[in-house]
Structure 1
Amino acid sequence: MGAQHFDIAIAGGGLSGALIALALRARRPELSVALIEGGPAIGGHHIWSFFASDIDPADRALVEPLAAARWDRGYDVAFPEYRRTLPTQYRSIASENLAAAVEQAMPRGAVFTDARVETLDAGGVTLRSGDRIAAGAVVDARGLGGEQLSALQGGWQKFAGQMLELDAPHGLTRPVVMDASVAQLGGYRFVYVLPFGPSSLFVEDTYYADDPALDSELLAGRIAEYAAAKGWQVTSVSRQETGVLPVVTGGDFAALWQDVPHGVALAGVRAGLFQPLTSYSLPDAVRFASHVAALPALDGAAIAAASHRYARAHWQRGRFYRMLAAMLFGAAKPDRRYRVLQRFYRLNEGLIERFYAGRSTAADMARVLAGRPPVPLAKAALVLAGVGAPTSLNPDAQLQPAKIS
């Protein structure tokens, strides 16, 4: 490879790392940026979805061109005792779109794939091949490391998704973001349906579970059962993905950062930048990319310090969501957890939008907590007192980052 030097090297070509690279190329084009991905392609093989209300107007130009599908007529939710259509617009980004945008924006020789990181430090990134990419600043956006999980407490969101090609039009005009009218198996379960085309549906079977074990064949079978129950005749499966992500109920922010090399910045879920209850990371990935591109100084020390301050403020703002996650896992029986979300979706649409974006107001929090909770009062009191809440996450769990909604 030979000696190479960049102003900024980003380790991790997933959603967060790629968005930082795109934001820097658009807003700070004078800087040289390297994007280093251990897998064969930028973005991997994922679909990330988001509500249009998640994105600030100033940042829409960064994400709207990435959308593989847009739905402007709202979305549906369904529960055993309640159904609703909400008007919020919805979008999905496919990893192929993200990779294409990076290829177009980045100069030749600045994107590295199949480049596994051996070590990184404030002066650059050393690959397992032995090659060294020197940089004035280093950002680690490789995803939440297994060693970091022991600093967190909580449960898991796990899912399998398939793009189903049908023999006839399905007739859906809106996404079904949460269909929890299905049998509640293995924790809180819902099915997620995106109509990508007249006869194409992305269907995902999702669980809020106490353990991270994922049986992809079992979930694929349940997707097939769901499709059959809807009367959809599947001719082929053109895309598949799985994911296992933490739902955080508590933890130690300092421990999350304790092994970070001096002078290295963290980004994305590796920095804890996701909504603790939903594991939803896209809004924070966009905001942080914009934040980095707007920093007055972009040397290594400045970016590292800024990333720590940003993540610490995010952790503090997440206390409310961690408390709700603890109530969901610690106070509700697994087959009754749907009642928490069923009650939540009866609330004001603006409150729901702010919740998913991780921007709940004090009034929102008070409204969510008002009235009789949909969990046993005694258990709720114990969880709030720290008794019966989920314990530390398994550091050996095999996380698979993907879209969360």
Structure 2
Amino acid sequence: MNGRAIDMAIVGGGLAGGLAALAVSKGHPQMRIALVEAGDAFGGNHRWSWFTSDLDDDGAALLAPFAKTEWDAGYDVFFPGHERRLGSTYRSLASRDFDATLRRELPQDAIRTNSRAVELTPDGITLENGASLAARVVVDCRDFEPSAHLRGGWQVFMGRHLRTDTPHGLACPIVMDARVRQHDAYRFVYTLPLNANELFVEDTYYADAPVLDRDVLSERIDSYCQAMGWRGNTLGGETGILPVITGGDFTAYRRSLGQAGIVRAGARGGFTHPLTSYTLPFAVANALALARVADRPGPQIAALFEKRVHDHWRATRFYRRLGRMLFDAAKPGERYRVFERFYRLREPLVERFYAGRPTLADKLRILSGKPPVAVTAAIRALLGKGNPLVHERSQ
């Protein structure tokens, strides 16, 4: 390959890739790294949120440089038959602040935006413009690609950043408001009060098909805001379709990603919360793990991450089973009952569930009592295969 070789090329400047670059740069300032992103900004157009209980001290330290919106008074959930305020501290990070911090904290020669990688090998990458970059370690942190090797459903969402004409009066985030019409899916609205006159309102669906109709979702956000008494101007927004993985042949999926010797992390690598599509705790943990072994040969790091992701797949088996009951046992219009029942459980269990660290006692408690779906339907769902995660579409 032409050009001077670097120590590490990280492909994909989203959450996983950006945090990996930051952790390696901080832990090994002498290393030459490149954070290669196809777009013109790191993080795209997204917002990531998390509970402080999701992270240990090292994880919190990694996120410390980023400007965040913080809520220490807890958050609310609303369902047709239940509402509750939970006391967990909540945080949120906008992609524009993610991009600004990476540009400030990383060495300037590490920043490679507007650079689409078209080929990855264990010893370097080739860009769309034909240029190549030799590297001792190549890390693939690109976005998830739909795959027939995996099974499940989809989380479809549209978010809107709104500046209200008058103070909106919302003190805490509403993580789930499922009092809305369900529209043949588990639908809820997620709202963050960013300041006295700004809100982020997101309409989310656990849907069988990856269909995102922008006009329809925009109208539903309009209706929700009107019902809540919020009027104002739109400052921006985002849309997305994320996989909710309920099963599949994970070994075949990993093989389909390409040749061995490349470190694979992020959503494409399989590091997601199968039920919530949540990635932040895993992106943080992987970034720190990569920094600890960054001075080793690339194939050795790739082998370590191969073991790491298979351990993750085994550890999250419980969530995939719950996902199968959600998509294949519950009627679409009644899926909210699964979450309504869940939010009646003790708060420490809820925290461990979102962080991906449920205990055996937590799992037994979640499954005990009167189930929110018919037992026969649950058995059929657990014995079934589910739908392949393919054919992503939007309108």
Tell me the equivalent position of 2:346. Answer: 348
Q: Would you say the 8 A contact 2:294–2:301 is kept in 1?
A: no
Q: Give the whole-Å Cα distance in 1 for the aligned partners of 2:299 and 2:371.
A: 46
Partner of 2:89: 89
Q: What secondary structure, in the 3-state scheme, does the structure 2 residue paired with 1:66 have?
A: coil
Q: Tell me whether 1:258 sits opposite 2:264 in the alignment.
A: no
2:226 aligned to 228, 231, 236, which one? Answer: 228
Superposed displacement of residue 295, structure 1: 2.0
Q: How far has the Cα of 1:68 moved from its partner?
A: 2.5
Q: Secondary structure at the match of 2:293?
A: coil
Root mean square deviation of aligned Cα: 1.4
Q: Does 1:247 align with 2:244?
A: yes
**1:126-141 equivalence runs, <5 A:** 126-141=126-141
Q: CA deviation at 1:392?
A: 1.3
Distance 2:135 2:231 in 1: 53
**Partners of 2:296 and 2:357 in 1: CA distance:** 27
Question: What SS is found at the alignment partner of 1:274?
Answer: coil
Alignment of 1:3-402 (within 5 A): 3-146=3-146, 149-234=147-232, 236-259=233-256, 260-295=258-293, 297-384=295-382, 386-387=383-384, 389-394=385-390, 396-397=391-392
Structure 1 residue 6: Cα displacement: 1.1
2:49 maps to a residue whose letter is S
Q: How many residues align?
A: 393
Distance 1:59 1:75 in 2: 22
Q: Deviations over 1:252-309 (max 9, x none)?
A: 1111111322210101111110100000011100011111111274321121111101
Asked whether the 8 Å contact 1:186–1:207 carries over to 2, the reply is no
The structure-2 alpha-carbon separation of the partners of 1:121 and 1:15, relative to structure 1 and needing over 3 Å to count, comes to same
| Residues 140 and 264, structure 1, Cα contact 8 Å, conserved in 2 | yes
Query: Aligned partners of 2:100 and 2:194: how far apart in 1?
Result: 19
Moved more, 53-62 or 186-195: 53-62
Once residues 70 and 253 of structure 2 are traced to their aligned partners in structure 1, the CA distance between those partners, rounded to angstroms, is 36
Structure 1 residues 102 and 296, CA, compared in 2 at 3 Å: closer, same or farther? Answer: closer
Q: 1:292 to 1:261 in 2, by over 3 A?
A: same
Asked whether the equivalents of residues 140 and 267 of structure 1 are also in contact (C-alpha less than 8 Å), the reply is yes
Gaps of 5+ in 2: none
* One-letter amino acid of the counterpart of residue 51, structure 2: F
Structure 1 contact 4–132 (Cα < 8 Å) conserved: no
Q: How many Å separate the matches in 1 of 2:180 and 2:64? A: 32
Q: Over residues 297-325 of structure 1, what are the superposed CA-to-partner deviations in whole Å (9 max), with x where a residue is unaligned?
A: 43211211111011000000010000000
Amino acid at match of 1:221: E
Residue 30 (structure 1) shift: 2.0
| Aligned mates of 2:50, 2:356 — CA distance in 1 | 12
Give the TM-score taking structure 1 as reference length: 0.95
CA distance in 1, matches of 2:192, 2:213: 22
Contact 1:143 1:268 in 2 (8 A): yes
Query: Which residue is equivalent to 1:403?
Result: none
TM-score for both structures, normalised by structure 2: 0.97
The runs of 4+ residues in structure 1 deviating greater than 3 Å are none
Code of the residue aligned with 1:157 in structure 2: it is Q
SS in 1 for 2:242: strand
Amino acid at match of 1:256: Y
